[in-house]
């Protein structure tokens, strides 16, 4: 690991101290919107104050938490999706998972990310509050948002695509969009993001990509392109509305996730500093 000079480190500390911090993660709570394909999130008080009292009168409360790894704001590992039996880089999926976890391509292989982030605000480009359910965000719309904002994508960037659908997060049925579909990029948009050199791709929806009405997760071509073909991790269920409202399109993006060895994904709390 390389070390920055004391002067550079001091400048970064000063910059961070003056920055506005935008929390892009969703609070995790019982009953929150999540995909039915993953184990339900459940939190409870396993021990309450007064259950045990110390000799000096002190007491402690503690929690019990169960959750799937793809619940709430989370990051997909490259092991999450296979195509025709293979993971990214041609790794045999059956062999990789034989021991009940992924020694390769698991979430533990993703280091914390601190770098440039770019928000592509599709609703603002289209003059709407929220993209319609099932709307596929096209390459033209991604390019249009980038040009309108003056925020070009550079190799190594984290690119976050806003559809406005996050406004429905507190209405789980609406957010899932079973009958309406969910907006997002499709296969072509995913290839375009990869061709721009994005190292991470995120969105304000549960599945990142366009889900046509009534089809659910039957096909996930953007996942195939990003995770299997191009080795780009996906961040889902992000809160991107405050960034868009403030007109913040370029920022320092910070991503750290639960380091669960061999897992296919993990909850995360991404931040934007601007």
Q: Which residue's entry shows tokens 């409202």?
A: 245
Q: What is the dihedral of CA 33, 176, 269, 32, to 10 degrees?
A: 0
Check residue 252 and give its pLDDT.
Answer: 96
Check residue 3 and give its pLDDT.
Answer: 53
Q: Report residues of the chain scoring pLDDT below 50.
A: 1-2
Check residue 112 and give its pLDDT.
Answer: 97
Check residue 125 and give its pLDDT.
Answer: 97
Strands 184-185 and 136-137: parallel
Distance of alpha carbon 77 from alpha carbon 106, whole angstroms: 6
Do the Cβ atoms of 162 and 185 come closer than 8 Å? no
Check residue 4 and give its pLDDT.
Answer: 55
Check residue 5 and give its pLDDT.
Answer: 65
Check residue 214 and give its pLDDT.
Answer: 85
Check residue 1 and give its pLDDT.
Answer: 42
236 CB-contact burial (10 Å; exposed 0-12 / middle 13-18 / buried 19+): buried
Check residue 217 and give its pLDDT.
Answer: 82
Check residue 153 and give its pLDDT.
Answer: 98
Distance of alpha carbon 152 from alpha carbon 93, whole angstroms: 36
Q: Which residue's entry shows tokens 């969009």?
A: 177
Do the Cβ atoms of 182 and 171 come closer than 8 Å? no
Q: Which residue ranges form the domains of the chain, and what is each CATH number? A: 6-273 (3.50.30.50)
Hey, how many other C-beta atoms are within 10 angstroms of the C-beta on 154?
14
Distance of alpha carbon 79 from alpha carbon 173, whole angstroms: 28
pLDDT tens by residue, 158-176:
999 999 999 999 999 999 9
Q: Computed from CA positions of residues 78, 81, 84, 85, in that sequence, does the dihedral angle turn out positive or negative?
A: positive
Check residue 134 and give its pLDDT.
Answer: 97
């Amino acid at each position: 690991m390389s070390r920055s000079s004391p002067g550079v480190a001091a400048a970064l500390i000063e910059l961070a101290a003056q920055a506005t911090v935008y929390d892009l993660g969703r609070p995790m709570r019982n009953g929150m919107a999540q995909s039915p394909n993953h184990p339900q999130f459940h939190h409870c008080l396993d021990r309450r104050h007064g259950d045990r009292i110390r000799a000096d009168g002190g007491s402690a409360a503690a929690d019990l938490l169960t959750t799937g790894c793809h619940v709430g704001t989370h990051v997909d590992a490259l092991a999450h999706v296979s195509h025709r039996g293979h993971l990214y880089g041609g790794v045999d999926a059956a062999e990789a998972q034989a021991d009940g976890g992924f020694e390769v391509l698991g979430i533990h292989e993703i280091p914390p990310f601190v770098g440039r982030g770019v928000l592509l605000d599709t609703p603002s480009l289209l003059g709407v509050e929220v993209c319609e359910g099932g709307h596929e965000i096209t390459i033209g719309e991604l390019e249009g948002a980038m040009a309108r904002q003056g925020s070009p994508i550079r190799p190594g960037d984290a690119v976050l695509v806003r559809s406005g659908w996050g406004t429905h997060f507190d209405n789980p049925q609406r957010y899932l969009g079973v009958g309406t579909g969910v907006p997002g990029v499709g296969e072509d948009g995913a290839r375009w993001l990869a061709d721009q050199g994005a190292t991470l791709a995120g969105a304000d929806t549960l599945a990142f990509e366009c889900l046509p009405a009534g089809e659910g997760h039957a096909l996930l071509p953007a996942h195939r392109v990003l995770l299997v073909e191009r080795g780009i991790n996906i961040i889902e269920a992000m809160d991107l509305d405050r960034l868009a409202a403030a007109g913040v399109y370029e920022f320092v993006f910070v991503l750290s996730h639960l380091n669960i060895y061999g897992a296919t994904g993990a909850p995360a709390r991404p931040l934007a500093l601007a």
